[in-house]
Amino acid sequence: MASQTRSLQILLGETSYTPGENIRGTVELVLDRPLRTRGVRLYLSGSEVTEITIRRGMGRDERRVTYDSTRTILNEGLILFGEDRVGTLQAMKETLKSLAGSLDSPILPAGRHRYPFEFTLPNDALPTWSGPHARVAYTIWAVVDVPAGKDLRFDGTLYVIAPESWSIIPQRVSERHVPGGLLGFFQADVSMEFEFGGCALRWRERLEGKLRIRNRSRKAIRGATISLLAVEHAEANGYVRDSTRTVLSGFFRTPNPSADRHEVTFGFVLDPPLAPFQGASSRVVYWLQAEVDVKGAGNPVVQLPLELQ
């Protein structure tokens, strides 16, 4: 006897979406033989979740306790064919009917069935994010509800990015690091001017800037590590966790380490795309950081926040 072949998939028009955007696609069901079904349904959900684990007790009595906070961003469903799902009691009745061969659910004929659909993301939907303690995720799934049988199901992930209308505002900061205290010998007297130009907050855009260094010491400056940092803040049950992730980083050499003035030009392509957001129990912001590589001394650091408009 030939095995039964069925396939179910969700076809989306785009690879990513922005808040307020319409999500259009098609659910495709392929059957090699007729199938009795209550209905074909589609669901879309999104949530912001934080999880913080703490230690309680000491020694052998030590245990870990995880606190979490969850906020639903959206939870929607569509009936593409047939009717809504039934309760447990009705499902039991249908099982008895199937044994008697008297099920009255509609039958889908063999072949390819396509069901177009459309959802609209909320205007305040947060971008997709996965960090040490915070997560924003969107799931889209389709179900073919088979009475008294195994349902068909297809699960997919929806990727949401920051609004395309956002842009990064140009920023500049000047700092001087002066040796002091007992460890002054291991420090360098340097002034730093750190700046970057604005750009659109879109995937594959280029963020460029300059780091100007005035070296008032006799220590050689070999270059600078410029990094783009994502800073996550998460809260759950009164507990707070902050963490920093390096998104992009590069080392930029100075042509003459012994010179008293340097200008380091840098640029980053925004890949992966940035996901800044302010949620109910979490937020993510981005910083640019410059760490100057000084021979035989500590490395001074200067930072700049990425502000958006």
Residue 258 belongs to what domain range?
167-305
Burial group, residue 190, by CB count within 10 angstroms (0-12, 13-18, 19+): buried
Give the integer Cα–Cα distance in Å for 120 and 114: 20
The pLDDT of residue 272 is 87
Q: Do 140 and 180 have their domain in common?
A: no
| pLDDT tens figures, 16-33 | 999 999 999 999 999 999
- Single out the residue in 158, 185, 205 at which a domain terminates: 158
Q: Do 108 and 217 have their domain in common?
A: no
Give the integer Cα–Cα distance in Å for 160 and 261: 44
**C-alpha triplet 194, 170, 196: angle, nearest 5°:** 35
Q: Do 12 and 112 have their domain in common?
A: yes
Residue type, position 151, single letter: D
Give the integer Cα–Cα distance in Å for 68 and 53: 9
In CATH, what number is assigned to the domain containing residue 177? 2.60.40.640
> In this structure, are residues 224 and 293 in contact, taking their beta carbons and an 8 Å threshold?
yes
Nearest to 258 by CA among 215, 210, 213: 215
> In this structure, are residues 163 and 122 in contact, taking their beta carbons and an 8 Å threshold?
no
Question: Could you give the maximum distance between any two Cα atoms of the chain, in Å?
Answer: 94
Taking only Cα atoms into account, the Rg of the chain, rounded to an integer number of angstroms, comes to 28
| pLDDT tens figures, 236-287 | 999 999 999 999 999 999 999 999 999 999 999 999 889 999 999 999 999 9
- Single out the residue in 136, 158, 180 at which a domain terminates: 158
Q: Do 153 and 172 have their domain in common?
A: no
Q: Do 121 and 242 have their domain in common?
A: no
Give the integer Cα–Cα distance in Å for 41 and 1: 30
Token representation of residue 267 = 């640029």
**Helix segments in 63-136, DSSP class H:** 88-100
Strands 239-253 and 206-215: unpaired
The pLDDT of residue 264 is 94
Q: Residue 300 belongs to what H/E stretch?
A: none
- Single out the residue in 121, 137, 158 at which a domain terminates: 158
Give the integer Cα–Cα distance in Å for 243 and 53: 14
**φ, ψ for residue 300 (rounded to 5)?**
-65, 150
| pLDDT tens figures, 165-206 | 999 999 999 999 887 655 555 678 899 999 999 999 998 999
| pLDDT tens figures, 57-75 | 877 777 889 999 999 999 9
